[in-house]
Amino acid sequence: MSVVDYEPPVEKTEEFIVQVKLTDLQADPNSPLYSAKTFEQLGFPELLKGLYTMKFTKPSKIQERAFPLLISDPPKNMIGQSQSGTGKTATIVLTMLTRLNLSIKAPQAICLTPTRELARQIIDVVQEMSKFTDITSELVVKDTLHNGKHARSQIIVGTPGRVSDVIKRKQLPVNDVKVFVLDEADNMLDRDCLGDQSIRIRNMLTKDPQIVLFSATFPEHVRTFSARFASGANEISLKREELSVNSIKQLYMDCNSEEHKFETLCNIYDLLTISQSIIFCKRRGSADKISQRMKSQGHLVGSLHGMMSPEERDKLMDDFRRGIFKVLISTNVVSRGIDVSLVSLVINYDLPLDVLDQVDFEAYLHRIGRTGRFGRTGVSIILVESKSTWQQMQQIERHFCRKIVRVPTEDWQQVEKAFKGII
């Protein structure tokens, strides 16, 4: 071989590998990330620069399908369903940005989310996408709009309790609101969760707004109500067996006692190299307990739950996003919507159960969806320590028509092999 033939080996960084895989997935018609169109063809020239700086090159399936329906005139309501991590946020945000009348300097679009963490994440996307425009946006959550301050921005992202409060106090004018978005809509409309508050806010809106409902899940009991809430909506839905994405490898590990379960958890972190991960527990008490025990064994972890102050929650979440600590222990507070691309492992230390102690299938799907986002690969593990957990896991397999594969706890070499190249 002559010197001129020689090409130095190109170092394939992780980012490069992810990008190549994403290009392949976006060209595969069976992938939820597939699109036949480009962003340029979807039409919102003034926002393209924002999208490019976010490194979005091609739309995903939900973006390609939903966006033209969402911006068509006259506006029609929308119920949109797509797997976790497939770009619903950008669809919502682009719709709000496109629908604004730029000459009106008052709130015209409101997006509600179940948690402050998710609201903060979405407002960041709004501000990133609109940074080359004059569009204004602001966050309305517990510790904002104090001392009678008014919300004057064109786009409002917030949580239902605070938003309803400030509308009632006339700190948030709603006369010009023409788009009303519920992200994680099944949760936001469920009577057992935030349904009453969302309905109350809808009824406070004076114009008849376009209603946009998005989620990865729409269980039957909420779907019927959603169709009434967003009457005449265009609907994009998924079958149950399409809900879980291939990029998440679902595993379980057998444990023979509570103590063995904790040991197994620590072994996972001692023996495997994991970029970032989330451990889900039943209650905040157990999250704190596990966090303290793991810390005492030298692990760098943080625990987040609803009883912490807003400042503590924000700092913890920001530190996790920046990678200052790698393991987040939480309850369902972070099960929906949270997007941290380096999360490669989700552990269900406890399975999510509803008030009747039945498996909460939707919560399970949202939890594992914190990994494997937009074409990345991820692993989810259930730690099975009792017969009832075993039975609940089987119900999950049947519900989503997906096998959950056993990895041994007694042979860590085999465990390492099972995880190789994924986390």
Ligand X SMILES: Nc1ncnc2c1ncn2[C@@H]1O[C@H](COP(=O)(O)OP(=O)(O)OP(=O)(O)O)[C@@H](O)[C@H]1O
Token look-up 């009453």 returns 196
Using CB under 6 A, pick the residue from 88, 116, 261, 321 that binds ligand X.
Answer: 88
What residue type is 43 in one-letter code?
G
Q: Does the protein bind ligand X through residue 90 (CB under 6 A)?
A: yes
SS3 345: strand
Least gap, CB of 301 to ligand X (angstroms): 22
Residue 95 binds ligand X, judged by CB under 6 A:
no
* Shortest distance in whole angstroms from residue 292 CB to ligand X: 29
Q: Distance between CA 269 and CA 110 in Å, rounded?
A: 41
> Is residue 86 close enough to count as binding ligand X by CB under 6 A?
yes
- Alpha-carbon distance of 156 to 163, in angstroms, equals 9
Tokens in use for 413?
């070499």
Binding mask 314-353 for ligand X (x = CB under 6 A): -----------------------x-x-x------------
H helices of 72-157, where?
88-99, 116-129
Near ligand X by CB under 6 A: residue from 75, 80, 87, 209: 87
Q: Are 128 and 104 in contact (CB under 8 A)?
A: no
Residue type, 392: Q
Asked if residue 262 binds ligand X (CB under 6 A), the reply is no
Strands, E assignment, 165-218: 179-183, 210-215
Minimal distance in Å, beta carbon 96 to ligand X?
A: 14
Residues 37-56 that bind ligand X (CB under 6 A): 56
Q: 290 is written with which tokens?
A: 């596990």
CB of 89 or CB of 210, closer to ligand X: 89
Stretch that binds ligand X, among 268-276, 357-365, 368-376, 406-414 (CB under 6 A): 368-376
The answer to whether 264 contacts ligand X (rule: CB under 6 A) is no
By beta-carbon proximity to ligand X, the closer residue of 284 and 373 is: 373
369: nearest Cα among 87, 120, 90, 121: 87
| Nearer of residues 250 and 264 to ligand X, judged by Cβ | 250
Give whichever of 19 and 267 is closer to ligand X, judged by the CB atom: 19
59 forms part of the interface with ligand X (CB under 6 A): yes
Q: Are the C-beta atoms of 248 and 380 separated by less than 8 Å?
A: yes
User: How many Cα atoms are found within 13 Å in the side-chain-facing hemisphere of 389?
Assistant: 20
Residues near ligand X (CB under 6 A) are 56, 58-60, 63, 82, 84-90, 216, 337, 339, 341, 369, 373-374
